[in-house]
């Protein structure tokens, strides 16, 4: 059955456009082999940074990868990947994602592509968020993918429940991102509880900002301490995937929308990211 309707209403910052939805279909995900959800207990721990770099590293390793950005109120990944000025278009089967690289190994869909202006806020209640996520899941034409990485907002909210409901039976598991501090660790414990209550498998925990890498001498200083994420993984009996340091070179690449994987192929930070990717691929 095909339904035609306008989404969202005229008062929304999202560009008004006529969208067709084929109800209760999963064809556009049938060729996606693995779906990974990236979660964080709180904001500011680098969840979107980790999600984008994992996707880049996977594509650099020869995998076909898609990123679905469902952080509706803070869609930062288009900027991180230098795609903030891109616009999506539709084909007969739905939305065509934006290809980040010339080889078309990495594709991206985000509400950031639908905003009239990049600084417009998305001020929506739960039902409208749920409807948007349902369309993202059902109506993006990913084609064949090895991995679909889903970047979510911090915490546990309507977006998370909508993703789990609409991707039921398709998700491999969740990757939890934390920083080493006790406050962040406490919030990730709540995220683990959420995963268990919703029966979402946990692939593992990543400890981000685990030390500061000096761009001059490459020495790593533990400005945020270290080991909190690994200790939590041991306490909760879930895999610890690894540590990613706070790296100014990575920050500059994100701000400029450049590929850190290509710009710094011999970086210790990239080594850490690739080590995590190897663990994810081996468990897939």
Q: How confident is the model at residue 203 (pLDDT cuts 50, 70, 90)?
A: very high
Residue of 118, 56, 115, 35 whose CA lies nearest to 254:
56
Looking at the chain, how many residues does it have? 284
Tokens describing residue 46: 């680098």
Structural domains present in the chain:
26-283 (3.40.50.300)
**Top-confidence residue, 118 or 39:** 39
Residue 233 φ then ψ, to 5°: -60, -40
- pLDDT at residue 218 greater than cutoff 80: no
Q: Which tens digits make up the pLDDT trace of 76-96?
A: 999 999 999 898 888 888 899
Q: How confident is the model at residue 239 (pLDDT cuts 50, 70, 90)?
A: very high
Q: Determine if the pTM surpasses 0.75.
A: yes
Helix (H) or strand (E) holding 232: helix 228-236
Q: Which tens digits make up the pLDDT trace of 2-23?
A: 333 334 444 455 554 434 443 3
- 96-124 burial, b at 16+ Cβ within 10 Å, e below that, comes to bbbebeeeebbbbbbbbbbbeeeeeebeb
Q: How confident is the model at residue 24 (pLDDT cuts 50, 70, 90)?
A: very low
Least confident of 115-124, 194-203, 218-227, 258-267: 218-227
Task: Give the position of tokens 């994100």.
Answer: 254
Residue 254 φ then ψ, to 5°: -65, -40
Task: Give the position of tokens 């993918």.
Answer: 145
Neighbour count for residue 187 (Cβ, 10 Å): 18
């Amino acid at each position: 059955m095909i339904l035609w309707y306008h989404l969202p209403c005229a008062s929304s910052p999202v560009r008004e456009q006529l969208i067709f939805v084929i109800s209760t279909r999963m064809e556009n995900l049938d060729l996606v082999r693995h779906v990974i959800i990236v979660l964080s207990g709180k904001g500011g721990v680098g969840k979107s940074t980790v999600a984008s770099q994992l996707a880049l590293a996977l594509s650099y390793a020869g995998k076909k990868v898609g990123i679905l950005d469902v952080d509706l109120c803070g869609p930062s990944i288009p900027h991180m990947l230098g795609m903030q000025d891109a616009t999506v278009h539709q084909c007969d089967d739905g939305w065509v994602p934006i290809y980040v690289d010339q080889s078309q190994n990495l594709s991206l869909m985000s509400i950031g592509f639908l905003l009239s202006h990049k600084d417009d806020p998305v001020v929506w209640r739960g039902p409208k968020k749920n409807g948007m996520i349902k369309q993202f899941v059902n109506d993006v034409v990913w084609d064949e993918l090895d991995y679909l990485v889903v970047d979510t907002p911090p915490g546990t909210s309507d977006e998370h429940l909508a993703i789990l409901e609409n991707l039921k039976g398709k998700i491999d598991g969740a990757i939890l991102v934390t920083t080493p501090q006790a406050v962040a660790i406490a919030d990730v414990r709540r995220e683990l509880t959420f995963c268990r209550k919703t029966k979402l498998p946990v692939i593992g925990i990543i400890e981000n900002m685990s030390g500061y890498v000096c761009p001059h001498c490459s020495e790593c200083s533990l400005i945020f301490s270290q080991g909190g994420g690994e200790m939590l993984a041991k306490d909760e009996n879930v895999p610890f995937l690894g540590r990613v340091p706070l790296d100014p070179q990575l920050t500059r690449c994100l701000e400029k929308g450049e590929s850190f994987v290509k710009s710094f192929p011999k970086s210790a930070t990239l080594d850490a990211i690739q080590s995590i990717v190897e663990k994810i691929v081996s468990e897939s």
